[in-house]
Amino acid sequence: MALDVKISNMNLQDLNLIADNLETDFDDFWNYNVLKGELENGNSKYLVAKLDGKIVGFAGIIPIAEEADISNIVVHKDFRNMKIGFMLLKGLIDLACSLRLSAINLEVRNTNVYAIKLYEKYGFEVCGVRKKYYNNIDDAILMRKNLSFL
């Protein structure tokens, strides 16, 4: 049965609710201050996923010119593989379409198979590779999806 997950715009209050467990339960790549800056910069757009009022994921895009870059998409470790990432990604695509952006770009570590699978499922295609981009070891895979408003 599908989970009753609600996707909505993310604000500072949402971030404050997960401040204490952000790096342990979500992802240590993004810390509180960086995310706070993202929410306050007036350009980035963030979504939050809530299950029974509990925050179980968040994701953001940065509109740049006519396109969007996905800055992050993160699901709480206890709630992964339940299609929440899928719902957040759909939310980001809908958001980019509503802003009349023409494409979404992202980069993902080559070892992050679940994320790559998620992006491919939503029609993202590999458009480049940055060799040894992460810690001079892992490659960054560049992916892109063109958007259509028709």
Count of CB atoms within 10 A of residue 51's CB?
Answer: 16
Ramachandran angles phi, psi of 89, nearest 5°? -65, -40
Q: By CB under 6 A, name the one of 3, 17, 51, 82 that touches ligand COA.
A: 82
Q: By CB under 6 A, name the one of 73, 96, 143, 147 that touches ligand COA.
A: 73
Q: Is 114 in the site for ligand COA (CB under 6 A)?
A: yes
Is the Cβ of residue 100 or residue 131 nearer to ligand COA in the bound state?
Answer: 131
Size of the residue set binding ligand COA (CB under 6 A): 18
Report 116-145 residues binding ligand COA (CB under 6 A): 117-118, 121
Question: CB 30 → ligand COA: shortest distance, Å?
Answer: 9
Q: Is 83 in the site for ligand COA (CB under 6 A)?
A: yes
Reported as half-sphere exposure (CB side, CA atoms, 13 A), residue 135 has a value of 6
Helix (H) or strand (E) holding 145: strand 138-146
The C-alpha atoms of residue 54 and residue 140 are separated, in whole angstroms, by 32
Region binding ligand COA by CB under 6 A among candidate stretches 10-18, 40-48, 110-118, 126-134? 110-118
Q: In what order do the strands lie in the sheet with 125-134?
A: 5-9, 45-51, 54-64, 67-75, 103-109, 138-146, 125-134
Enumerate binding residues for ligand COA (CB under 6 A). 27, 73-75, 80-86, 108, 112, 114-115, 117-118, 121
